[in-house]
Amino acid sequence: MTSQEMTLSLEQFALTSAKSADATAFRIVMRSGELLRVPKARRSIRVVAGAAWVSNDRGDAELRAGDVLPLLRSRQDTLVSAEGNTLLLEIA
């Protein structure tokens, strides 16, 4: 897995992520009230710090620091929102 240092808006992430190679992982900082749409091509969400609420066609889940959620094939994108002030995610 490769890592790239870049700053993207949440909308830019969705576009870049959908077009990037499968081996690219993204680290994303989210603030309370922000909503991230994770494209279907992504394989997992890992919470590095903070807490997240994740929703997709398989249901809802609350993730805390250290939790990893595999993203199985889905009909729709996964939605992530920050619970609390700051959330740091790794999307692979």
CATH of the domain at 46: 2.60.120.10
pLDDT (tens digit, 0 to 9) for every residue of the chain, 92 residues total? 444 444 556 566 666 665 555 567 888 999 998 999 998 888 899 999 999 999 988 899 999 999 999 998 877 889 999 998 899 999 98
User: For 42, which DSSP code?
Assistant: -
15's enclosing H/E stretch is helix 10-19
How many domains does the chain divide into?
Answer: 1
Domain of 27 in residue numbering reads as 2-91
